[in-house]
Amino acid sequence: MPRLPWRVAKLVEIRQETATARTLVFQIPGWPGHLAGQHVDVRLTAPDGYSTERSYSVAAPEQGDRVELTVELVPDGEVSPYLLEILEVGDEVEIRGPVGGWFVWRPDHTTPVLLVAGGSGVVPLMAMIRARRAAGSSAPFRLIYSVREPDQRFYLDELANPDPGLDIAYLFTRKTPDGWARPPGRITQADLTGASTDIDSYVCGPTGFVEAAADHLIALGHAPDRIRTERFGPTGG
Ligand SMILES: Cc1cc2nc3c(=O)[nH]c(=O)nc-3n(C[C@H](O)[C@H](O)[C@H](O)COP(=O)(O)OP(=O)(O)OC[C@H]3O[C@@H](n4cnc5c(N)ncnc54)[C@H](O)[C@@H]3O)c2cc1C
């Protein structure tokens, strides 16, 4: 397969999601389009020629030459602080993609879907939720979204009024809103118990979260080949 070309991507819009995360909208002439769930590689090149790249999931379905990413700050990181604190509207980076063909949701899928997100792992799952809305799909969707604290949730306003047929449950691992019934803690089998195992699951987040959630689903009787996973480990070099 031919290697994907690097394309010049101009930052055209910034949206603050949380204190430490932003959505960056890039305009990429010649962008070939993408599916919800895919990711891109972002490459930064310094004036002395040193370059480095990282992977980021697309946060929204295809919209012409616009590609949205949501980046969470890794405080001692090399690329995420640059994208969040230095890059300004009008600046350019290079982007290559789309990458990945397995962790995708297509709008013609009618099977019920379970989305399980840990932290910034919600990004490709949000692309699926938005793709479902854009397509007018009525496939039942359920999002289980685990974060440390309430104010670390991405897309809070948009998810406050879920689309018909989209059910959302938040899990908090360190601090809950006042009066929240579930005590803070990591995802358990009970959090994933649902009526049916005849569903397709998409699990995304840090490696440990993904492995724990996938193990719980298998223990609950979900077929391993219907559990799609994406691990947000360190990337690039
Ligand atoms: C397929 C894929 C999709 C991804 N999509 C997104 C996305 O949509 N949004 C997003 O914010 N990130 C995403 N990531 C993670 C992203 O690629 C970078 O790893 C992250 O932004 C940190 O890069 P950095 O250069 O700032 O940190 P680095 O300089 O690479 O690392 C600094 C320190 O942090 C540790 N570290 C690096 N990355 C992580 C991590 N993800 N979790 C925990 N510790 C880490 C490193 O081991 C190192 O100690 C994705 C990763 C993959 C593999």
pTM for the model: 0.96
With cut-offs at 50, 70 and 90, classify the pLDDT of residue 233. Answer: confident
With cut-offs at 50, 70 and 90, classify the pLDDT of residue 196. Answer: confident
What is the DSSP-derived secondary structure letter of residue 105? B
Question: What's the CATH code, domain 7-99?
Answer: 2.40.30.10
Check pocket membership of 230 for ligand 1, CB cut-off 6 A: yes
* Cα 231 to ligand 1 centroid, rounded to whole Å: 10
Tokens 């118990």 belong to 193
Check pocket membership of 23 for ligand 1, CB cut-off 6 A: no
Check pocket membership of 18 for ligand 1, CB cut-off 6 A: no
Average pLDDT over residues 77-90: 97
Q: Which helix (H) or strand (E) holds 203?
A: strand 200-205
Where are the chain's structural domains? 7-99, 113-232
For residue 195, pLDDT over 80 is answered with no
* Cα 73 to ligand 1 centroid, rounded to whole Å: 9
Q: Whose CA is nearest to atom 5 of ligand 1?
A: 56
Q: CB 159: neighbour CB atoms within 10 A?
A: 18
Contact indicator for 200, 172 with CB cutoff of 8 Å:
no
* Cα 236 to ligand 1 centroid, rounded to whole Å: 9
Q: In degrees rounded to 5, what are phi and psi of residue 129?
A: -60, -40
Please provide the DSSP assignment of 142-169 as one string. EEEEEESSGGG-TTHHHHHSPPTTEEEE
Question: What's the CATH code, domain 113-232?
Answer: 3.40.50.80
Taking only the tens place, the pLDDT of each residue in 131-153 is 999 999 999 999 999 999 999 99
Q: Whose CA is nearest to atom 42 of ligand 1?
A: 233
Check pocket membership of 233 for ligand 1, CB cut-off 6 A: yes
- Give the model's pLDDT for residue 2: 67
- Give the model's pLDDT for residue 237: 52
Ligand 1 atom showing the smallest separation from residue 80 Cα = 26
Ligand 1 atom showing the smallest separation from residue 230 Cα = 1
